[in-house]
Structure 1
Amino acid sequence: MVIRRAFLNFPKSFLGVLIHFLACGVSEAATRPPYTEVFYPSGNLSIQAYLYKPFGDGPFPAVIYNHGSRQGNERRPTPFPYIGNLLTQAGYVAFVVERRGYGGSDGATIRDEVGNNRRRLVARLQAETDDVLAARDYLLTRSFIDAKRIGIMGWSFGGIVTMFAVSRSNDFAVAVNQAGGALTWNGNADIRNALVAAAEKANTPTLLMVAQNDRTTESITTVGEIYNRRGVPHRAVIYEAFVPQGAASDTPPGHRVFSAEGVHVWEKDVLEFLGRYLAIKTTEKN
C-alpha cells in the first residue's frame, strides 16, 4: 500500500497550466476534442452519455467513467470535462455515463427509488451497473474503439458500481476505484457485504484510491486486503489529508480530492496504472 502526499494548495504545475491557458485563450481551447452526447439502450431504458474522443481514427482504448450520487442534483447534466480532458489527452476515449435517473437518462432518481431505505441501495446500484455493462456493449459498436482495451473508472457511488461491474464481467482490461463506499461503509452493512462479495469475485487489475481524511479508508483497504489474499493485480494508494479550496460542504474534505479540484493529486497515478493495461504493446504494433 502506498501513501501519497496530497497538495494543500494548487501546485506550481497547475498555476503554470492556468497561465498557459489564459495566454493561449480560446484558440487552444477550440483544439480540444469536444464531447458528443449520445443515448444508448440499457434494457428498456435510454441512457445518456458523453463521449470524448481523441483526434484521429483510432482504434483507441476507452475508459467508462462513473459519477457519484450528486445528492439533490441528479438531473443536472454533468459531463465531467476534467475527466474527458485528462483521458483524451492521454490517448483514451472517455465515456461518461449518466446512469439511470441521472441527467437526461430514463428511470427514477436514486432518491425517489431508495429514499431513506438503505436496504434498497445495493439493488439500485446493481441496476445502475446494468447501465454500465450496456455502455461497454455500446462502445463495441463504434469503429474507433479498441474492443480489447476498455477500462472502467468511478468515484464514490461510481466506485461501488465499478466494483460491481468487474465482479460481474471479466471483459474490462483495468479498473480504477476512487473512494467507492467511503461515505456509506460505516452506516450500511449491506454495502459493506456487497463490496466484500464483489472483491471476492473480481479478477480485473484495479487501482484503489482514497484520502486519509475521507469518512473512512476501510472500504478501499478491505478490498486491497482481499485482492492481496486472492492474488488479484492491484495497487492501493492512500493520499494524505486533502484540504479543498472551494466552498464548505457536508462531504468529508478527503472525499473531494477526486473532484476537478484535486485532479493534480491523483492524475499521475491513474494514467500510470491505466497505461499498464491499456497501452498497445510493441509486439502488437508489428
Structure 2
Amino acid sequence: MRNANTMMRGRSQFLLAVFFCIAPAVADVQSEAGPAYSEVFYLSGNLRIQAYLYKPDGDGPFPVVIYNHGSRDGREAASVPFQYIGKMLTRAGYVVLVPERRGYGKSDGSMWRQDVGNDPSSLITRLQAEADDVLAAIDYLRTVPSTDTNRIGIMGWSFGGIITMLAASRSAAFVVAVDQAGGALTWDGNAYLRRALVGAAEKSVTPTLFMVAMNDRTTLSITTLVEIFKTRDVPHRMIIYEPFTPAQRIRVAAPGHALFSEQGASVWESDLVQFLGRYLGATVSDKRDGAAAPKAQQ
C-alpha cells in the first residue's frame, strides 16, 4: 500500500450541530438535475437547521443514511442538496437526510470562520458542537413515518467524514459508518484534529468503511484510523483507490480529493452500496469479508 504524506497547512473547516427535533417545516423541491426532495427545518438547540430529505418510492419503513457534506470554501450560504447522493441511495432503498449544519445554507448559526478563524485549537470545539447536531438529527428522523430508525447509517466526505467519525464514536444509534477522505486535507496541519480523530477511532464500535484516493493530499488520516480499528477488532473495510483526476475543475486542494464528488461517484458507488447493505439490509450484501483490503492493490 502506498501512503501519501504531503503536508497540509490550510485551515480545517468542519461542521456539526445539535439537532433537537421539532415539527419540521417542509417544502417539496423537484429539480431536473436529480430526484425530488423535501426541504425540512428543525431545531438544534435554539438554531433552526435546514436539511434535505430524500425518500424511495413506497411506504417503508426504510433504513436511513445521514450524509454529511464537507466545507464550501467561502460559499457557505449556498444551498447544496447533494442530489447525486440522494439519487444513488434512494434507488438502493434508503431514506437520505442531508443536513445543512449550522452556518451553512439557510441554517441559523455562525459560519465556521467566525468560530474558528486561525485558531486551530478552537476547531474541535466547533466540530463537536456540530457532531451534537448530527446526533440530534436522529430525533427528527423519528418523526418521519417512512423511516426505520433502528437502521441508521452515517457517512460523509472530507470534513463530513471527520464529523461522521466523531458522531459515530459518541452514539450507538449508528449501525454503520462511511468515512470518505475525512481529514485528508487537514491531517498534517492540525494536531488537535489528529488527537480528536484518533480518540474517536479508539472509542468507536461502529462498523466503518474507509475510502480515500492514492493522490489525495494524504492517506494517513485513513490508514491511521484503520490501524486502530484493526487493533481493537472493530469491523471495517479500507479501500484506497487509484489516483483520480476530475474531468471538470473543482475547488479542492488535491485532485484525488475530488473522487468523492459527483464526478467520481461511479467509481465508488457499488462499494458504498454493498457495505451499507451488509449492515442496513437494504440491498444484497457483499458476503466477502474485505476488511482492510486496499482496492488499489487487489
What TM-score, normalized by structure 1, do the two folds share? 0.86
Q: Residue by residue, what CA displacement relative to the aligned partner does 1:90-134 show, whole Å, maximum 9, x if unpaired? A: 110110110110001110000111111111111111111111011
**Residues 33, 55 of structure 1: 8 Å contact kept:** no
Does residue 156 of structure 1 match 2:169?
no
Question: Alpha carbons of 1:55 and 1:280: their partners in 2 closer, same or farther (altered >3 Å)?
Answer: closer
Asked if the contact 2:94/2:282 (under 8 Å) is kept, the reply is no
Structure 1 counterpart of 2:172, which letter?
A: N
What is the match of residue 59 of structure 2?
57
Identify the structure with the greater helix proportion.
1
Give identity over the alignment, percent: 63
- Does structure 1 retain, via aligned residues, the 8 Å contact 2:41–2:48? yes
- The runs of 5 or more residues in structure 2 that have no matched partner are 4-30, 285-298
The answer on whether the counterparts of 2:92 and 2:282 sit within 8 Å (CA) in structure 1 is no
Deviation of 1:2 after TM superposition, in Å, equals 11
Residue 249 of structure 1: how far off its partner (Å): 3.9
Structure 1's unaligned 5+ residue stretches are 4-28
The amino acid across from 1:197 in the alignment is G
Letter in 1 for 2:140: Y
- Alpha-carbon distance in 1 for matches of 2:130, 2:180: 17
Cα offsets for 1:222-242 (capped at 9, x unmatched)? 110000000110000100100
Q: Could you tell me which residue of structure 2 aligns to residue 268 of structure 1?
A: 270
Distance 1:95 1:280, change over 3 A: closer
How large is the RMSD of aligned CA atoms in angstroms?
1.9
**Number of residue equivalences:** 256
Q: 1:34 aligns with which of 17, 33, 36?
A: 36
Q: What does 1:16-31 correspond to in 2, within 5 Å?
A: none
Cα distance in structure 1, aligned partners of 2:144 and 2:70: 26
Secondary structure at the aligned position of 2:38 is classed as strand
Cα distance change of structure 1 residues 235 and 281 upon mapping to structure 2, 3 Å threshold: closer
1:120 aligned onto 2:122 = yes
AA matched with 1:213: N
1:15-68: CA deviation from partner (whole Å, max 9, x where unpaired): xxxxxxxxxxxxxx88x7510000111111111100000111110001000000
Question: Equivalent residue for 1:170?
Answer: 172
* Cα pair distance change 1:248/1:202, threshold 3 Å: closer
User: 1:188 maps to which residue?
Assistant: 190
Letter in 2 for 1:208: F
What aligned pairs does 1:59-208 form with structure 2 within 5 A after superposition? Answer: 59-208=61-210
The equivalent residue for 2:24 is: none
Q: Distance between the aligned counterparts of 1:2 and 1:50, measured in 2? A: 37
Larger fraction in strand: 2
- TM-score with structure 2 setting the length: 0.83
SS of 1:78's equivalent?
coil
How far the C-alpha of 1:250 sits from its partner, in A, is: 4.8
Asked whether the 8 Å contact 1:65–1:95 carries over to 2, the reply is yes
Runs of 4+ in 1 over 6 A off after TM superposition: none
